[in-house]
Structure formats: C-alpha cells, structure tokens
Structure 1
C-alpha cells in the first residue's frame, strides 16, 4: 500500500526541493584569529544561509588540524512574511605543526566555502600583549604638533572579542583645550596581531587654547566581561544531551549570566602629550590656522544688473577646512562710493560628516547704486595660515568695476491749461514775469485777504490740517511704542525666557548661576550658564560649556567651566565646592558683561587672544 505511484511522486518532489534548498545555501567560513601560538587553538565558524540539510564535510581539516570539539545552532526568522533560516557550526581546531596552515574549502551539498589561512608561531613572545586581552583601548590623533587654536581630531577605539556587559566610556580630558564629540560612533572589524576584534570608534574635536605642552587624558572604560580564569558551571542540559544521543538540546539558546562567571574591568588607553606651537610672528593680525580657505562670490540676480535705485544682492561664502565656525572671522568688504550698502547678519555653521573639521560662514549684502556711471567693488583679502605647508597665505576676491545704468527718467510736468468754460475749478491767473531792471528793488506784494479772488484760496488751510493730523499721528505712535516697550520690559522681569532685553535677562541668568553654585548643583549651574550665554549673544550663543569658554578672554574661564562639567559626570558620592567655583566665576561673568556693554559703543574685541 505504501509503494503507490502517488507516494513515490511525493517523495520525489520532497527530495528535489531538499536538493534545491541545499544548492541555494551560501556557506561562509571564518576564524576568530589568523595568528596563534603552537599550543593554542583556533575557532572555525561555518555559516550556511537558507534551509539546508546534512552536515559539512570536515575531513579535509585532518591534514593540518585536530578537531577537538564541534557544535551547531539554527536560527529561524520571519520578516515581512518571509521566512529565513541560518545554520552555524563551531569547530575548535588544534594545529598539528607550526607554519602557515591552510583551512581548505569545505563543502555542504552543492555549496563551498572559501579557504582561510592561519599562521602558527612558536613561543608566546611573538604575540603582542593585546592579543591575549579580551578588551582594550587605543587612541589616535590627527596632529602631533598643532598650532594654537588649530582644531584636530582625537579618536578612541574600543577593541573586544566578545561584547562586554554594562560598558560605560567616559570622555577625554585636557587642560587649556576644548574637547567636543563629533558625529556618531562607528563599528567595524579589525585584525590585531592575527586576532579578529570588533572595534567601536568614537571621534572628538580638540582645539588648544594656548601654546606649550598639551596632555589629553584617555577616557576610562568600565565593563563586565567573561572570566575565563574561573571554571564555568557545567551546562545543565549536558547530561540530558548525552542521554538522548547528543541532539535533543543541541543549539539551545544560552541564558546571559547562567553558568558563566564575569568580572569587572577598567581599561584606559595611553595619555597623549602634544606640543602646541604658538602663532607665528609673520602671520599678521588675523590668525586663522587651516588646511584650505575658499571664498565664493555669488550675485542675485545672476548675472547682476546695476541700476540706480534698484538693489542687487551679493553673497560671499567663506569655507574653511581645519577650523570651527567659532574661529571664522568677518570679511572686510571695504567702502563703496556711489552706492548704499545694507549687510545682513553673518551666518556660520560646522559641517557634519566631513573627514576633517570644516566650517562655513555666509555674508549677504544688498547694494543699491545711488548714481549712474562706474561703480568699483574693492578687493577682499583674508590672510590665513596653511598648516600643511606651514606658510602664510591670502584668500583674495578680486576687485570688480561695473557700469550702473541711470534710473527711469522723471516724467515732465504737464502744461497748465485753462479750464473749459463752465468748469467749477478756479484758475490761477498767470502773467509773464517781467525782465528785471538793474536799479530796481524787489518789493514784496501786499498780503491778500482769504476772500480775495486772486489769493491761494482753501489750499493753505487744507495743508495745515493735514500737517496737524500727521503730527497727532506721530505723537500717538510714539506713545504706543513707549507703552509696548515698558510692557515687554515688565514681562521680561517676570519671565525666565532669555529673548529680548539683554540687560535684565542677563542679570536674572547671573542670579541663577549664583544660586546653583551656592546650592552645589553643577547641572543647574551649567543650564544657567547656557541661558546667560543666550542673553549675551542671542542666536550666536554657544551650545556648551566648552564653546562658552572660547568667548572669555581669560584662561581661568576654561578651568572653571571644565570643573563644572567634571562635577556633572563625576561618580556618585563625589563632592563639588560650588561656593569656591562661584568666587572665581562671578568676576568672569561681570568682566564679560562689561566688555559686551563697551562693545555696543565700539568695535568688538578679538575673539581669540594670541598665545
């Protein structure tokens, strides 16, 4: 009964589908290390994608390796209604002899893996110290001898063979420099002395504030890792596995922490000490260290058409590689004779996703010619220091002379014609002016009464009425403007917002900083400092304490603000003397406010002092 044609056909279809599934599988081979000692083992992983059947042929491994153990697992997932499965074999191999050993191509059905090469050396001295560590850190800097105020990259890399548990990484610390994290963390694989590690890379931007030695203290990594020095607990399913032929509980998922011992470790990379060079004497008054500086000149409309009384917009875009937006100076566009100039507020930003620090600053200016003829736009020059060639350079926008066309001609005054007969208008009598005689004396005519037919009539009274109405409107507008200003000032006193009135909001923010420091609350102090910065500089205010430190013309400011940041991220139980911090921070705020008030009456002071 079982040997029916229908049953044979069904079995044939089943075998065919299994053969096709095995043929569609993709087999990948990888090892955890490519360089080992002769007395060590290497773990080989075979991964097959798809619904596979059977076992891989491991017989080619016996030429150079002993197979110590093997295991397998299977994973099935359903995504968007589609089912996919993966099988993985883990084979522990011991080399039979030193040298360059080759794990040949292995087969599973119709699939084949790529061969893998493993180098086996004698003696442990050939393996670097990091090769035996489950987790370690490395640091990198893009510049070892930067100039003062030259931004450079600092990278910290975390290497691990197995993902650590409850890992926490602090930030690097440096005195007399600002450090800011840039972008998101990157992850990739990397071989170190033949060992395959997973790497997580974090990038920071460092800007030294003064010349001399600069030490960057490495971040600290705290994590829990598997303790291989202790004997792990026996797998609770091992006995059942053996009782049922070693297949019933094969591939049972591991439970984190069950049957495994962990230990807490603290790792650091090496501290980096750099020598920061001072500003060269031949650099000039403007100090802009960079690797590239470009100035783009654009017009709206394009090409520009210059006419008397019609505006033309000029946009200058300054792009600097190797600097931050806070370092970009303003462009000196000179003076224009024969035109009115209306500049907008410059806008600057740091570009994200670039290999090197890159900043852009945009200057927009409306130019309205006031006379026809030639108009000369002066040359624009920006000196900067090329940190690659170590030479002074100048970015130049050449001078430009344009022709300004005259405005529309004024329409001629119409001839006065006598009104037609029967018109209600009264024509003013016109008489030809007599030719002056040399000895004659001009005597004013006697005033005429309002009712005289030859006088000005009602027009002087109308003009006086309109003038009186205009004066009344002006008085009302000034009164309403004063009422709105007083109302805004009163609301600013009651509101914690920082928009509008600089003086009152700045004083309120200063009181907040003082209260937070005296309450020993570093987080509240940091928030109050950000509010104070916004009250000082509005939209151009800094975003963090490191950026705020650049606005002070005092080296002590960086130390005080860094101390606040350290207190925020200090371990629990750490103490912070807010009263001592306020005794140093209060005078800095007062001095910065006084400089800002003086700057309202004159040119702004230099943002970056020379080292």
Structure 2
C-alpha cells in the first residue's frame, strides 16, 4: 500500500498538469478545391485522442490527421505539448465556420474560413505539371501603402531540385513575410502540392506599376525504372531520369495613386491602423524640481515599416529642460502585414516649483481601409512641481535682521526725567536731580558702549572664523569636483558641483538654479553639458572643458542693493521722511 501511495505521488504532477487547447488555421482565405490545415495545440499533455470531427462533415471533407508531441524539462519544470493537425478540404464556397471542438476535456474557440470561387487561372494552367501563380491583396493603392503580394508554386511531380526567384520591380519596396507554407489542392481533378510565399509590396511612386513575372527552374525526377521495377536500387526515385522543368508567373499591373490633394504638410502615413502613446506619467501628477521625469513616447502602425514613421519629439515646455534619448526603430510582420514601431525616451528636468504642462501632441495619418484622414492625439497633461525634499526655501537663506541694541532706547526716554514738582521750582533741589540724572545717563551710556563694542568684536571674530571655515569647505569641494572631472566620473560631477555652489549660495537647490544665478555663459553651458551627459550623448566637437570653465570659481550675478554688506545693522538707524 505504501509503494502504491508513493507511485501516485510521483505521477500526480502529470495527472494534475493543467491543459489548455488552442485551435488555429494555417490560412484564413482559400479557393474551392484547396486544402487547409486545422491545428489543435494542447499544452500540458503528450497524449490525447483525436477529437470527434463529425461536426465538420457538412462543410468539409476530412482528409486525415497527424500528431506531433514534445516534452521539455527546464530547471526541473516539465512542459509538454501535443499538436494534432487535421487536413480539411472545403465542400463549397462562402464563409464557413469551424465550430468549437472538445479536445482533452477542453473546448476550442470557433474559427472562420473564407472559401472563394475556384481560381480563374485554373483553366489556363490545366494539364500543367508545374506552374506559378501570383496575386495582390488589391489592384490599386496609394503611394507608401503596403499590399500583400502572394506567390504560389504548384507541382504534381517529384522535384529533385528547384529555385523560385524573388519578385523585383522598379519603384517598389518588396520584403518577404514569414516562412513558406505548403499544402495540397485540387485543380481540374488533379492533386497538386503547393508552396506559398508572401511579400510586403509598397509602391514608392504614383502611376501604373508593373511587376514582372518570376521564374521557377527545377528538375523533375521520373521514379520509374524498367530495370528495377521493385525500386530496390532506386528507393523513392532518387536515381531516376531527371527532366528540367520551368514555369513563369504572369505580370501584375497596379494603379498607384498620389496622396490626396488636400493633404497637409505633415508626413504622409498611409496605414491600416496607428496608435500614439506616452508612458511614464506619474499617477499622482506630482514631480520634483530638479529631478528628471522619464517618459517614453511610442508610435506603432500596421502597414508601415518602422523606418517610414516620423521622428518623435516633445514640444517646448515652459519651466523645464528636455533631453531626448536615441530613438529605437523596429519592424515585425505577422505573415501578412508589416507593423512598424518607433520609440524614444525623454528626460524632463523641471526648473522650479509650480505648474508644468506638456502641450497636446498630435500625429496625422491616413486610414487606407476607410480612405479617411485621422489624427492620433496625446492629450495635454499638467503636473504639480514640488520643491525637492530636505532643501531650504529660497527666502530662508536671506540674512535675518539683527535687533538694535537696548541702550539705544534709553536716550529716547531721557527727557522725561526733567519733570519736577512745581512747588520746588525755586530751590536748588532740581539742579541736584538734574546733575544726578546726567551722571547716571553718562554711566549708562558708557556701559552700553562697552557692551556693544565687545559684542561687535565677538561677532566680527565669529564671522571671520565662519568665513575661514566656509572657504576651507569651498576649496575642498572645488577640488573634489575637479577630481571628478579629471577622472571622468560623470555621475559624481553634477553632485559635487552643486555641493560646492551651495557652500557659497546656500539657497540653491539644483543645478538649474545654479545656472540661473551665474553670469558666465561658459559656466551655464558647462552645467547644461553635465546634465545632458546624464541622459543623452554629447558630440565631441561641441564638448566644453568643464574644468577650465570653473577653474577660477563661480561667476555669480551681481544683485542690485543699496545695503552695506555687513553682518550688523547700522549703529543709529534712521528713516528719511
């Protein structure tokens, strides 16, 4: 019993492994008489029975089924997959439905297949062993609009070798899409093997466009050998007599139209669909002054390659500096249509607190499916820019006024001591009090002057010491910044330059404010270069010698002021009327 339980535990991963089923068709558009393959992909198992296909009997002839299984083990995790391929031949034209099928306990989704009339060129190629057909998704297009160009090679002989040339045409761009597909079809009662190849065809100029025929060259092998009727020495006809075979496709003519006459001066973008997006916007609409807001803009269009899409840029933003990154362009295809994508990142540096708005961004394109002009839009977005945390407000860095020394107030009330009673006005007592008051006032003045003199010397000494310490700190930070420049430590350069500047101007919070406070154009350009190097490249021809720009220190703007640059207020302040 114990061994049986252990065996159940070992097999349980396979038993409980979740299975999922997906149904796909190798083609969604066929002609009557052609075959199509229904692929049933089952994930999570390697063993499943072919489902009941009786629901297909009304619209299809089931020609047969095959299975292909695989098992992968990665880091101890097992993944199993089973594909059941069912060959179907439609019985009539129209939009046929493949209903949901029950496979491995799960149901597939319903599928649709368009079956058209037998190919009109079938009678032309009747009786041929090998022939080539070509077709386009439309006989007319706009300049720059992608069409689907399909090449099919039909053969009912054993081919020993062969080559099928790629199409070429002046004034067009032709790109191969996906991999070749092969299937079977029936033409005029004959069974043919078909190899299908697809291309993205994009006209580059208006007018009538002719795509020349393409040629197939190969060798057909006759498997029959009268000297070896059993095929012992010639299995599969590998050594039979070979006969050269060739086949040419017909020419294709297209009507290519120029863009509409009323089209604007913006780029001409004929696409099946187009989207424009901006990623990285903060959810709370708040950003910090002096810190980058990193955004990524993307445009994606079906029916256009990536190199046909316009360059991405942000409009000028008041109160911010924009540093764009290098663009990234890609093109992919799904076997029918090209899908181009262009992306670009931007670092936005807000310079000060307040409101910051990214204006509305639009891109005009032409919808080739509906023949209409459309506009893709990124709405305007407004952020609240807050001051960097941990930094003092600008107003707090101004020197605070020092209160006037107390003794100065005594002289303003001294006259009140001269009031005496009227009854003693004729005696000598008032003069005595006046003399005593004068002496007392003189003593008080001397004490106040001594206190003020000592306070002034103490403050001057403290200011001298602070200035000396500040100078030592500035020299150390200046040397640290120059060391970072000489060692090419780019991440450290902006931080050390800001630390050096804040020793001299404590109210500065970021390099943007440092640049605004400088009077030297060279130093402002050097700061811009330091910021740009953090998020974008700088051409060698435009590079500034940052060390030389700050070798003699900062060149600050001179502020207009009538006050004396002194740590103390005037001794006897007064106001002019």
More strand, by proportion: 2
Tell me the TM-score normalized by structure 2: 0.48
Larger radius of gyration: 2
Q: State the TM-score, normalizing by the size of structure 1.
A: 0.45
